[in-house]
Structure 1
Amino acid sequence: MAVFPQDDLMQARLFHLHALSALHCGTGQSTGVVDLPIARARATQLPIVPGSSLRGVLRQSVSEHNESAARALFGPKSIADNAKSFAGALAVGDAHLLALPVRALAGIVCYVTAPFILSRYARDLERAGLTAPEPLSPAPANNTALVAADSVNRMENKLVLEDLDLDVSDNDIAKQWAEDIAQLIHPQDVMAQTDFRQRFAILPDNILGFLSETATELRTRISIDENTGTVKKGALWFEEHLPAETLLWGIYALTDSNEPDQPYARDALARALPASDTLLQIGGQAGVGRGLVRFLTQEGLA
């Protein structure tokens, strides 16, 4: 297999999504008691925001200011003939779960992740030209959480999350991961960085997998009959959401424009994308305040 220098083809860039409200990017079908579940990776069952959802939102945002750049980035909206077709210069990957806010007995909320997630996050950090903390070695033992020494979630030597009672172990690498993630999510806010570090925990993979399925948010929705003022028959359903403060990450990549008549260079297209810390609305229910996220990029890689 040939290996090409990144600068010669597509330049990998890192993005983060920081949910400011409950976020529902669904599958459109029910698999159980939840009528509208969130999208999940098939192999891991961890929550994701599909790249197609983010791509559509980014196209709308760019189109509002620069329709020509939007066409170069995302390709033509419609194709009259093959001669006028071309691929967009932007490839957007799925956004993967990085840290999930979970109810804690002490400290109100704890941001949890796991070695499985961090190892893949470290790989993408390196692809984007950033340095990841040291790998966790050893991984947290069964029923043990790794936290920073000043964690506000610990009760003596215990961490109580939802209905789980975990042992606590101080860990310098966990502290470093918390600091690095906090700097990427809150680059200009020292207080927010400190708060995140004090509420951060690394859990065993199996416990994080359990919480990713049981600690999401379920909301009951109804539809009102305009004539009677009561709930329409059969119009009650349950929606699953990622809770506010969830963190996700992903990779996107750019090339020069593929459109023959618009020879945009890659750097020019990068400047046309929303700036880091732009607010976007992803998923449904915008009218009731769902899906508001901060879109964060490492602009130094542009």
Structure 2
Amino acid sequence: MNLVYFYLLSPLHTGGATQEGNLLGIARESHTELPYVPSSSIRGRLRASVEDQTLQYSLFGNEISAEGNLVQGTVWIGDGSLLWIPVPSLSHGVIWVSSPMLLRRWARVNGVESEIPTDYSTNLNGQKPVYLKDAILKASELKGWDTWKNFVPQADQAQGIERVLVLPDKHCATLIQMSLWRQVKVKLDEHKTVKDGSFRYEEAIPPDTLMYFPWGTTAQANGTSAAAKVDFQELVTQRPILQIGGQESLGRGFVQTWLGNN
């Protein structure tokens, strides 16, 4: 597999399958409830950014061929997964958190052989407690982590991620849920009062989150996989800023992308 990273420059909203009450949620993994970016959203944005129709059909396929059949492209794209997400901290400003499960998932698709860090591994100075929203971690709970850079892409786009902390899977999931952006949306009538049923919350993944998606060539690229790979790499390189997801008119979904090393 190959990877493309994307660093969120603004909140990112991808619509979920369900809406509970007045909360308009985002897409979540069914087994973890963690936010993710569906591959169809990423693929659709990349496909729409290709002006050359021949290249567009070659990479992503033709929706309907002249014979009325769906034609597969030479490139497949996977879902976007979380790697590091920023959490406000009264003691350290902003701390990027992850969990052993998220790091293990990334290491598998990225071919990283470094040992997965244990719970509460961090590069923070362990001489004072860490405050994360409503949670307080004692200095005695923290574990030094010298190899943390092996799990943070060493690229200019991610150079701001300098304070990292690995939390237990269940605690990380809870903290991620608490750290999502929630915006109140209302609709006013002619009297400047809120209409019935027009009050809702909309979720989004916060800016400065680091995510990634895997990609590769399909069986359709038999004999042309090398060329297809080069074409896709050039596509990503030439479009370092993309807008993914919904609420485009509100400036949502701007991400900075770059190719992984593999």
Q: Assess same fold via TM > 0.5.
A: yes
Identify if the C-alpha distance between structure 1 residues 268 and 105 changes in structure 2 by more than 3 Å, giving closer, same or farther.
Answer: closer
Secondary structure at the counterpart of residue 44 of structure 2: helix
Identify if the C-alpha distance between structure 1 residues 266 and 80 changes in structure 2 by more than 3 Å, giving closer, same or farther.
Answer: closer
Could you tell me which of 122, 131, 147 is aligned with 1:176?
A: 147
Secondary structure at the counterpart of residue 100 of structure 1: strand
Provide the aligned length of Structure 1 versus Structure 2. 260
Task: Tell me the residue number matched to 2:25.
Answer: 37
Residues 2-42 of structure 1: per-residue CA shift (max 9 Å, x gap): xxxxxxxxxx21111211111111215313x5521111110
Task: Tell me the residue number matched to 2:156.
Answer: 188
The whole-number CA distance in structure 2 between the counterparts of 1:264 and 1:110 is 40
The whole-number CA distance in structure 2 between the counterparts of 1:279 and 1:205 is 31
The whole-number CA distance in structure 1 between the counterparts of 2:226 and 2:101 is 39
Identify if the C-alpha distance between structure 1 residues 47 and 271 changes in structure 2 by more than 3 Å, giving closer, same or farther.
Answer: closer
- CA contact 1:104–1:162 (8 Å) conserved in 2: yes
The whole-number CA distance in structure 2 between the counterparts of 1:182 and 1:265 is 26
Equivalent residue letter for 2:114: P
Residues 132-159 of structure 1: per-residue CA shift (max 9 Å, x gap): 43223xx22xxxx221144xxx6x4311
The whole-number CA distance in structure 2 between the counterparts of 1:248 and 1:210 is 18
Could you tell me which of 77, 87, 99 is aligned with 1:114?
A: 99
- CA contact 1:106–1:160 (8 Å) conserved in 2: yes
Identify if the C-alpha distance between structure 1 residues 67 and 233 changes in structure 2 by more than 3 Å, giving closer, same or farther.
Answer: same
- CA contact 1:18–1:294 (8 Å) conserved in 2: yes
Identify if the C-alpha distance between structure 1 residues 271 and 215 changes in structure 2 by more than 3 Å, giving closer, same or farther.
Answer: closer
Identify if the C-alpha distance between structure 1 residues 234 and 244 changes in structure 2 by more than 3 Å, giving closer, same or farther.
Answer: same
Identify if the C-alpha distance between structure 1 residues 200 and 28 changes in structure 2 by more than 3 Å, giving closer, same or farther.
Answer: same
Q: Which runs of 5+ in 1 are unaligned?
A: 1-11
- Structure 1 residue 266 and structure 2 residue 252: aligned? no
Cα RMSD, aligned residues only: 2.7
Task: Tell me the residue number matched to 1:297.
Answer: 259
Secondary structure at the counterpart of residue 117 of structure 1: helix
Q: Which runs of 5+ in 2 are unaligned?
A: none
- Spell out structure 1 runs of 4+ moving beyond 6 A: none
TM (norm. structure 1) is: 0.77
Report how far residue 224 of structure 1 moved. 4.1
